[in-house]
């Protein structure tokens, strides 16, 4: 890999290697304590974050490297300097760039014009780091990925897109239940269906949460109004009536099915408190695995060959 921008760009073998490395990093972190010694990572945050900032910053430190936090006040992106100039300048200073931004084109341009690896920490279109950590969490829980089913219920957003790609690459069936007007991007669905056809898996789109959850090993949801959509919050709450993941939905899942959420969670909206804090919830396992999965990406992209 030259960059980590989308799981659609990662082949199945490379994905397995990333997950295996993430498991090694989790089991024996001190073995990799000098893996990125002397290396630096610029972290661009146009969107605020808890998990992304802490996991990348701690991850670089645990690998012997340095992370530099750059907020919207610290960089000139969209404030008079083109992304191409920012990419070229940062490439002269650091060994890698992680960007958490709004427009997906920004990470594409950072990768296009820079000369160092670029990691997509989140865009409005995709969130591959979270989906990678989710695969690690699911594999830990079930001992495998192939043959499982993940049901995503809610907004067809960046999380839905990345989970769809993740499942297709990992040999998992994927179902998405979203209300009309909030379905997934059509081009990304077409791309994922090609991945799924090669893996022999299925992608289902429906407007019925119960249909999506039927037999699912993982039931997954996200907030109904993401960052930058605050003005749409009330309209979205009305549109998503009936899409709360509650005991009724979980009853349709497999007997050993689990609940996942990328957090932050709004109990009483996209998920009931009983499910979010219940015995089937593994939300904090997946939050922890952001650290290990992202360290695997960092070692793969920034580590010395061999």
**What are the phi and psi torsion angles at 89 (to 5°)?**
-70, -50
From the candidates 127, 139, 236, 261, which is the catalytic residue?
Answer: 127
Q: Strand pairing of 40-45 and 66-71?
A: parallel
From the candidates 222, 261, 286, 292, which is the catalytic residue?
Answer: 222
From the candidates 262, 286, 292, 294, which is the catalytic residue?
Answer: 262
Based on the residue annotation, tell me whether 127 is a catalytic residue of this protein. Answer: yes
Based on the residue annotation, tell me whether 262 is a catalytic residue of this protein. Answer: yes
Based on the residue annotation, tell me whether 261 is a catalytic residue of this protein. Answer: no
Question: Strand pairing partners for 175?
Answer: 151, 204
Based on the residue annotation, tell me whether 144 is a catalytic residue of this protein. Answer: no
From the candidates 100, 104, 139, 217, which is the catalytic residue?
Answer: 100
Based on the residue annotation, tell me whether 277 is a catalytic residue of this protein. Answer: no
From the candidates 62, 130, 136, 286, which is the catalytic residue?
Answer: 130
From the candidates 53, 104, 261, 290, which is the catalytic residue?
Answer: 290
Secondary structure (H, E, C), the chain: CCCECCHHHCCHHHHHHHHHHHHHHHHCHHHHCCCCCCCEEEEEECCCCCHHHHHHHHHHHHCCCEEEEEECCCCCECCCECHHHHHHHHHHHCCEEEEECCCHHHHHHHHHHCCCCEEEEECCCCCHHHHHHHHHHHHHHHCCCCCCEEEEECCCCHHHHHHHHHHHHHCCEEEEECCCCCCCCHHHHHHHHHHHHHHCCCEEEECCHHHHHCCCCEEEECCCCCCCCHHHHHHHHHHCCCCCECHHHHCCCCCCCEEEECCCCCECCCECHHHHCCCCECHHHHHHHHHHHHHHHHHHHHCCCC
Based on the residue annotation, tell me whether 112 is a catalytic residue of this protein. Answer: no
Vertex 10: Cα angle to 121 and 62 (nearest 5): 45
Q: Which of 99, 123, 94, 121 is nearest to 110 (CA)?
A: 99
Q: State the catalytic residues.
A: 100, 127, 130, 222, 262, 290
């Amino acid at each position: 890999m030259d960059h980590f921008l989308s799981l659609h760009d990662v082949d199945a073998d490379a994905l397995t290697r990333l997950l295996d490395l993430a498991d090694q990093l989790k089991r024996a972190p001190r073995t990799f304590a000098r893996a990125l010694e002397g290396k630096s990572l610029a972290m661009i945050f146009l969107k605020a974050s808890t998990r992304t900032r802490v996991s990348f910053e701690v991850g670089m430190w645990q690998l012997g490297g340095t992370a530099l936090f750059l907020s919207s006040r610290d960089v000139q992106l969209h404030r008079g300097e083109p992304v191409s100039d920012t990419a070229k300048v940062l490439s002269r200073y650091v060994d890698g760039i992680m960007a958490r931004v709004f427009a997906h084109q920004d990470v594409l341009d950072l990768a296009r014009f820079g000369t160092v690896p670029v990691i997509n920490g989140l865009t409005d279109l995709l969130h591959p780091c979270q989906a990678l950590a989710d695969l690690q969490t699911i594999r830990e829980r079930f001992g495998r990925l192939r043959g499982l089913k993940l049901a995503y219920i809610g907004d067809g957003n960046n999380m839905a897109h990345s989970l769809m790609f993740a499942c297709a690459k990992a040999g998992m069936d994927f179902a998405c239940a979203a209300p009309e007007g909030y379905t997934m991007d059509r081009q990304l669905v077409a791309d994922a269906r090609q991945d799924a056809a090669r893996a022999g898996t299925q992608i289902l789109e429906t407007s019925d949460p119960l249909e999506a959850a039927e037999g699912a090993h993982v039931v997954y949801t996200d907030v109904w109004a993401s960052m930058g959509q605050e003005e749409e919050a009330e309209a979205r709450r009305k549109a998503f009536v009936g899409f709360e993941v509650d005991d009724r939905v979980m009853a349709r899942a497999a007997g050993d099915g689990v609940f996942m959420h990328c957090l932050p969670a709004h109990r009483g909206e996209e998920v009931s408190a009983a499910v979010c804090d219940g015995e089937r919830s593994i939300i904090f396992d997946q939050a922890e695995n952001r650290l290990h999965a992202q360290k695997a990406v960092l070692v793969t992209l920034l580590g010395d060959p061999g």
